[in-house]
Amino acid sequence: MRHLWTLVVGFAVVAGCAVGGEEESNDGGQIASEVSSKIIYEYVSPTAPGSQGFGTLALRKANAKPGTFSPTNGAATLPVVKLASDALVTQAELDAVLAIPYAGHEDNVVALFGGRNTGSIFSDPTFEVVEIYAPSQPVTIGAVAQKDALFQLAPSGSKTIVRLLNENDYPASSQPFGVDYTATTDPTAAAVAVQGGAFFTGSVDVPCHTVLFWTSCDPPSGVHVTSYFQAN
């Protein structure tokens, strides 16, 4: 859920909401994004043979949701995919993702790319890959596409920040909150990875307050992890 900070005017409507789940940067060990302030994260899936596009991979921007003026926000794009000049991975690692067949992975996210859109109206749409992450377990496209579903925990002094990748940080929480790993295939490994800064899919419980057309959110009260991504 996107949240905007606003002056409180009029009457407030208080609501509790869960962000992510089934509704479909730079602390932490996995954040190598200091190489660029423009790193964005995209879910990666193979395309069917004969698909029309500039590349052979479908990319979907994480946490991008359609709106009135952007109905296709978060939908699949098929850009040219190439290694960035400042990539933190090798061409061989990118080639391994490009080689994943469509058969057997039709509905799956097979990787998470961190990189940049560098195409223009005068050239083919292009995505330059800086980082590559592999899912800890099968992740279906429908579970994460066009919804808030990709997060990260990051320490901030004595507090913990929950980050909504590609979007905003939720307010830092000074109070401990529960993190549920039971939906993962290996809760112990998931806990180690997520507490170490790994990106994860799932949902976040966030008490939110709506004033007229504006919404602000309190610190999260709970986190539910369904999978996580490991850096190549």
In whole angstroms, what is the distance from residue 80 CA to residue 45 CA?
14
- Which pairing describes strands 222-231 and 126-135: parallel, antiparallel, or unpaired? antiparallel
Q: Are 141 and 97 a contacting pair, CB within 8 Å? A: no
Domain ranges of the chain: 12-29+147-231, 33-135
Per-residue pLDDT tens, the chain, 232 aa: give them. 444 333 233 333 333 444 444 333 344 444 443 444 589 999 999 999 989 899 999 999 999 999 888 999 999 999 999 999 999 999 999 999 999 999 999 999 999 999 999 978 888 999 999 999 999 999 999 999 999 999 999 988 888 999 999 998 999 988 788 999 999 999 999 999 999 999 999 999 988 888 888 888 889 999 999 999 999 8
Mention every residue, 6+ apart, whose C-beta is less than 8 A from residue 69.
none
In whole angstroms, what is the distance from residue 20 CA to residue 43 CA?
15
Q: Are 228 and 193 a contacting pair, CB within 8 Å? A: yes
Tokens of 220: 């999260």
Helix (H, G, I), strand (E, B) or coil at 95: helix
